Chains A and B, each alone.
Chain A
Amino acid sequence: MTVLTSHLKLLEAESIHIFREAAAQFRTPVLLYSIGKDSTVLLHLARKAFWPAKLPFPVLHIDTKWKFREMIEFRDRTAKEFGLDLVVHTNEDGRQRNMNPFDYPPSVYTDVMKTQALRQALDAGGYDAAFGGARRDEEASRAKERVFSFRAPGHRWEPRLQRPEMWNILNGRLGKGETVRVFPLSNWTEGDVWRYIAMENLDVVPLYFAKERPVVERDGQLIMADDDRLKLEPGETLQQRKVRFRTLGCYPLTAAIESDADDLDSVIEETLSAKFSERAGRLIDHDTAGAMEKKKREGYF
């Protein structure tokens, strides 16, 4: 198998350039940290962009309270290690109404606990720009997005009216009520993220590596029982299977894949030869055609 790495330094420099432009042009940026592998790379690049100075912005995590436990442990460990200004936000209104991914359709749950929560947190912090780890190779509507992605008042994305973005001149001038999502990893692929993690020797959440874990098979997908809130339906049984995750999110909505890839080398090998796209394990992306674009228009990342 060929391992192409020579372009990673180009991607790294491009991302650092984007971080510095945004930090110089926006008043109150924030880094949206979702704990996954992309966030790990994003945070690492941000540290490089401003080294030896500290990150000139806080790091925001939207906690739905349904994340894998290992993710939260990893988040707190990372924040401590790098001295991050970590802000955690949960949609308390949704939580009090017991909004959960079992009793509500995934699209409703996601809208309340993720999209609305994000909007609340961005408004509360008065952030005019938010860094995200989205990549153009993830999904068809993301393939269309700019590096500085403008949001109309109310965080709406208007895909038909995107600002021209020529050469590496990033125009961050905002209209009234506008905010920006900044995507330093726009031109990275899933394979690049893993190869970079290997190259830079970065620590990631152990859930990415295969291990015997308790899972239940539901609608053809493997769901891990991360805590006792997962109730078995009639006929379902909990089984120990060797699985890992390609993306990390809320555990009831993130399917595991069966795999023997238990270290970085084998994960990279599996990723580069993968037959299925990364977001195939994201249950919320498949509700309707154009599901991701719809969520983005409403203010999702």
Chain B
Amino acid sequence: MTLAALVDQDVAAAPAENAGSMLRLLTCGSVDDGKSTLIGRLLWESGAVPDDQRASVLAASKGRSNLNGEEIDFSLLLDGLQAEREQGITIDIAWRFFESESRRYVIIDAPGHEQYTRNMATGASHADVAILLIDARHGAKRQTRRHAAICDLMGIRNVVLAVNKMDLIDFDEATFRRIEAEFHGMVKSFSFEQIQAIPVAALTGDNVSGQSARMAWYDGPSLLDYLEEAEPAMEAVDAPFRFPVQTVLRQGDFRGYAGTVASGAIRAGDRIVDARSGLSANVKRIATMDGDRDEAAKGDAVAIELDAELDISRGAVLSQAGNAPVNGDVVEARIVWVSETPFDPEAGYLFLTNTDQVPVSSISISALIDFETLQAAPAHACTVNDIADCRILLGRSAAFDTFKELPATGNFVLVSAIDGATVAGGVITYAQSGAAAPENTFILSRDLLARGLCSDLGDSPEDRAEFERRAQEAANLLRSVGIPVIIEIE
């Protein structure tokens, strides 16, 4: 059989079988903990580095002095910008690719410097698994905790805690166990589902692709062995159907809504609804250049033609009738601020979802994550690299899900209305329509709170912040048991 024929055959596989075929890895952690070296080592050992690049790395390594006596500076494989090579630091994320027998790996190497946290957040949003590096000599630093918090915010559920530079602490098990235990305690409030701690030495290769003989006490997988088994982030196959409309395609009589299925699946003949307008119709055709399809599932880029002419445009989210997203104009969210310009309650912002763009009426910050304790503390301001909880009122309604349920339609970015710069990325924790409270919605009013839960609080700024924090907590508790809540304490 020819290779081309083999290719044809493989591609006929069902979409579900493609799902595990690509694993996107983020490497993060504080500066100098050895991220670029670890990834360079992985690439080098997996045979992903062509000979001419090997030669140029070997040549460039000779001129550098910070190599701890090793011959090769693996970090040169990743630090691609002139400024990065000159300063010996990573400024922006680097994307690298390699293949094992079974799958494609995408490695996203994130900078450790606090100054470049915005780039790390970009990387984290694209990853299935995070490798969080910690220098065994120093344990978790402030920036390590910040990166852990951003990984959590961006939706990463599978974390490898790579305790690096074990060679510099004589491969001491007790130190490794202490760092591992501290980390577990630290991220208790996060949504990580899997945490695997691995003791490694990136420079010497211990536990990177094979078991280290110098750490016989460690009986877990090596880094590469763990990654080979790791599953990409996926929601349930029966997740609700979401189809954010990118653009409308017209040709002759054809009028199709072009987009990529964000979650779930749709079949020709199904009834769909547009959450924004409430309009509904049946799916007439699922069209692609390769022919019509009976079904489109998560990840498929298609054009959907309906059996009725609806007034739907870019920004609409098509769903199945009876399982639609919230059509809301009030959003509660956790955001990471990535602009050098601090948050300004008077400034104009736009709210960008997958394909929609909505003017923001107001944003109020209620809390910031403290990077020492990783707990939320009351606050009203927010500046670069902060993680904040906030409440956003929108100029009109749009279709939303919560990030926890459907990540692809529960995330957003905020951009400056003045210069278009991206200032924050966020995940929706709650969305509702503020215009008309549906029946049986619980209204958490200022009076109600002042009489009971917050009766000990006065009028100082600290107390007012605490008042808002308690209101938010109470709302979260009620919502967690399915009670719709509106907070009215403005």
- Judged by a CB distance under 8 angstroms, whether A83 is at the interface is no
- Write out, one digit per residue, whether chain A residues 186-198 have a CB within 8 A of any chain B CB (1) or not (0): 1101010001001
Query: Is A293 a contact of B81 with CB atoms below 8 Å?
Result: yes
Closest to A1 in B: B3
- Judged by a CB distance under 8 angstroms, whether B104 is at the interface is yes
Main secondary structure of the interface of A (DSSP, over half): loop
Given A13-B300, A17-B260, A265-B3: A159 touches B122 (CB 8 Å cut-off): no
Interface segment, one of B86-94, B209-217, B392-400? B86-94
Interface segment, one of A66-74, A85-93, A98-106, A272-280? A272-280
Residues of A within 8 A of B293 (CB): none
- Judged by a CB distance under 8 angstroms, whether A53 is at the interface is yes
Query: Is B95 a contact of A159 with CB atoms below 8 Å?
Result: no
Closest to B154 in A: A166
Q: In the bound complex, how far is the Cα of B218 from the Cα of A16, in angstroms? A: 45
Q: In chain A between 232 and 272, which residues have their CB closer than 8 angstroms to a CB of chain B?
A: 264-265, 268-269
Q: Which of A17, A171, A268 contacts B415 (CB 8 A)?
A: A171
Q: In the bound complex, how far is the Cα of B10 from the Cα of A195, in angstroms? A: 11
Q: Which of B126, B303, B421 contacts A167 (CB 8 A)?
A: B126
Query: Is B96 a contact of A137 with CB atoms below 8 Å?
Result: yes
Closest to A168 in B: B354
- Judged by a CB distance under 8 angstroms, whether A4 is at the interface is yes
- Judged by a CB distance under 8 angstroms, whether A220 is at the interface is no
Q: In the bound complex, how far is the Cα of B92 from the Cα of A201, in angstroms? A: 37
Closest to B262 in A: A168
Q: Which of A49, A139, A165, A187 contacts B122 (CB 8 A)?
A: A165
Given A2-B101, A171-B352, A293-B82: A166 touches B300 (CB 8 Å cut-off): no
Q: In the bound complex, how far is the Cα of B409 from the Cα of A169, in angstroms? A: 10
Interface segment, one of A20-28, A33-41, A208-216? A20-28
Residues of B within 8 A of A265 (CB): 2-4
- Write out, one digit per residue, whether chain B residues 94-127 have a CB within 8 A of any chain A CB (1) or not (0): 1111010111101000000000001101100110
- The A/B interface has a contact count, at CB < 8 Å, of 210
Q: Which of A12, A50, A140, A289 contacts B249 (CB 8 A)?
A: A50
Interface residues in A, total, Cβ within 8 A = 69
Q: Which of A6, A9, A24, A167 contacts B314 (CB 8 A)?
A: A24
- Write out, one digit per residue, whether chain A residues 52-73 have a CB within 8 A of any chain B CB (1) or not (0): 1110000000000000000000
- Judged by a CB distance under 8 angstroms, whether A48 is at the interface is yes
- Judged by a CB distance under 8 angstroms, whether B338 is at the interface is yes
Q: Which of A50, A144, A169 contacts B80 (CB 8 A)?
A: A144
Query: Is A4 a contact of B425 with CB atoms below 8 Å?
Result: no
Interface residues in B, total, Cβ within 8 A = 82
Given A159-B91, A186-B95: A23 touches B80 (CB 8 Å cut-off): no
Q: In the bound complex, how far is the Cα of B101 from the Cα of A15, in angstroms? A: 24
Query: Is A6 a contact of B80 with CB atoms below 8 Å?
Result: no
Query: Is A5 a contact of B301 with CB atoms below 8 Å?
Result: no
Q: In the bound complex, how far is the Cα of B91 from the Cα of A143, in angstroms? A: 12
Q: In the bound complex, how far is the Cα of B314 from the Cα of A160, in angstroms? A: 32
Query: Is A51 a contact of B289 with CB atoms below 8 Å?
Result: yes
- Write out, one digit per residue, whether chain A residues 121-146 have a CB within 8 A of any chain B CB (1) or not (0): 00000000000000011011111101
Q: Which of A6, A50, A171 contacts B422 (CB 8 A)?
A: A171
Query: Is A164 a contact of B91 with CB atoms below 8 Å?
Result: no
Residues of A within 8 A of B21 (CB): 4, 6-7, 10
Q: Which of A6, A23, A189, A198 contacts B97 (CB 8 A)?
A: A189
Closest to A292 in B: B80
Q: In chain A between 169 and 191, which residues have their CB closer than 8 angstroms to a CB of chain B?
A: 169, 171, 173-175, 186-187, 189, 191
Q: In the bound complex, how far is the Cα of B125 from the Cα of A8, in angstroms? A: 21
Q: Which of B97, B102, B289, B299 contacts A10 (CB 8 A)?
A: B299
Interface segment, one of B11-19, B200-208, B437-445? B11-19
- Judged by a CB distance under 8 angstroms, whether A206 is at the interface is no
Query: Is A49 a contact of B299 with CB atoms below 8 Å?
Result: no
- Judged by a CB distance under 8 angstroms, whether B247 is at the interface is yes
Q: Which of B17, B92, B154, B254 contacts A52 (CB 8 A)?
A: B254
Q: Which of A51, A201, A277 contacts B288 (CB 8 A)?
A: A51
B residues adjacent to A (C-beta < 8 A): 2-4, 6-8, 10-11, 13, 15, 17-18, 21-22, 50-53, 78-83, 85, 91-97, 99, 101-104, 106, 118-119, 121-122, 125-126, 154, 246-247, 249-252, 254, 256, 258-260, 287-290, 299-301, 303, 314, 338, 350, 352-355, 407-408, 411-413, 415, 419-422, 425
Known A49-B258, A160-B91; 4 more pairs at CB < 8 Å: A7-B21, A136-B95, A175-B421, A280-B52
